[in-house]
């Protein structure tokens, strides 16, 4: 706890320096932390910030959920069926390197502007990493451990559920942790370009109105959302993977 408090001191100093600088060089396009804080309170009170954050969060959650589910299922299929892996790998290796936002123009044409668009983008952003992490996680489970399970009486299904998947889980979680932040960045971009609601749209509108204070509030909220999303997965890792710290594959 003390360590965390010590860590706040540099932040406090930075805020102080910022405020001082602004007071010495006032300009409407450079709001100080005081101004930003007041704007933050105003946006909270009016509900605008809460609604924007809620809408963005739903999109992130749905997109991540769908992308993770499908990515996991397909990764599982490819990891356990060699023929499926051989058949799908070439296609997936072409699609995987395309950045999620690269799909935006195509998706706008195919899906139109609406809720489906950001969810589809986040789906793409999380689907491939989860798929590949699941596949890699499964393949990295030593064959001998699978043999050990079979010899001890476990069927193929039980071996998959009780040995392979738990051992592949660290890889899957790592992928998710990295993608959680990416999902927020993706939703921000899609809202700025195409959707009239959410944190991204709020920032874009603020840019049009030259409200730098609103932009800074949105950036802060976004940063916090990314941070918290990653922390959720770190917490999950710590809870579920106590055994992993010293075991090496």
Binding residues vs other proteins (CB under 8 A): 27-29, 46, 48, 112-113, 142, 144-145, 147-155, 158, 162-163, 166-167, 194, 196-197, 204-205, 208-211, 213, 242-247
d(CA 134, CA 129): 8
Q: How far is the CB of 182 from other proteins (least distance, A)?
A: 25
The residue (of 2 and 242) whose beta carbon lies closer to other proteins is 242
Closest CA to 114 of 180, 57, 198, 47: 198
Give the helix, strand, coil percentages of the chain, each rounded to 5: 85, 0, 15
The residue (of 59 and 211) whose beta carbon lies closer to other proteins is 211
Q: What is the CA radius of gyration of the chain?
A: 23
The residue (of 4 and 143) whose beta carbon lies closer to other proteins is 143
d(CA 134, CA 216): 37
Closest CA to 79 of 148, 160, 145: 160
The residue (of 66 and 154) whose beta carbon lies closer to other proteins is 154
Number of other residues whose CB lies within 10 A of the CB of residue 123: 26
Q: How far is the CB of 132 from other proteins (least distance, A)?
A: 21
Q: How far is the CB of 169 from other proteins (least distance, A)?
A: 8
Q: How far is the CB of 180 from other proteins (least distance, A)?
A: 23
Q: How far is the CB of 199 from other proteins (least distance, A)?
A: 15
d(CA 7, CA 76): 42
The residue (of 100 and 202) whose beta carbon lies closer to other proteins is 202
Closest CA to 166 of 61, 243, 102: 243
């Amino acid at each position: 706890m003390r360590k965390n408090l010590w860590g706040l001191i540099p932040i406090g100093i930075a805020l102080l320096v910022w405020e001082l600088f602004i007071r010495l060089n006032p300009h409407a396009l450079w709001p100080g932390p005081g101004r930003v804080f007041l704007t933050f309170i105003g946006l909270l009170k009016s509900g605008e910030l809460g609604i924007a954050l809620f809408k963005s969060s739903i999109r992130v959650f749905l997109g991540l959920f769908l992308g993770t589910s499908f990515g996991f299922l397909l990764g599982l299929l490819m990891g356990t069926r060699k023929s499926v892996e051989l058949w799908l790998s070439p296609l997936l290796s072409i699609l995987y390197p395309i950045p999620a936002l690269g799909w935006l123009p195509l998706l706008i044409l195919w899906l139109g502007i609406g809720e489906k668009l950001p969810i589809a983008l986040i789906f793409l952003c999380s689907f491939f990493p989860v798929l590949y992490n699941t596949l890699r996680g499964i393949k990295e489970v030593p064959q001998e451990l699978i043999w050990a399970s079979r010899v001890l009486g476990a069927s193929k299904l039980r071996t998959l559920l009780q040995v392979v998947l738990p051992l592949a889980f660290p890889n899957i979680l790592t992928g998710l942790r990295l993608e959680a932040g990416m999902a927020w960045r993706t939703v921000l971009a899609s809202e700025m370009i195409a959707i009239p609601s959410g944190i991204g749209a709020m920032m874009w509108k603020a840019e049009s109105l030259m409200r730098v204070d609103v932009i800074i509030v949105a950036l802060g909220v976004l940063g916090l959302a990314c941070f918290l999303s990653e922390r959720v997965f770190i917490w999950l890792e710590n809870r579920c993977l106590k055994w992993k710290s010293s075991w090496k594959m």
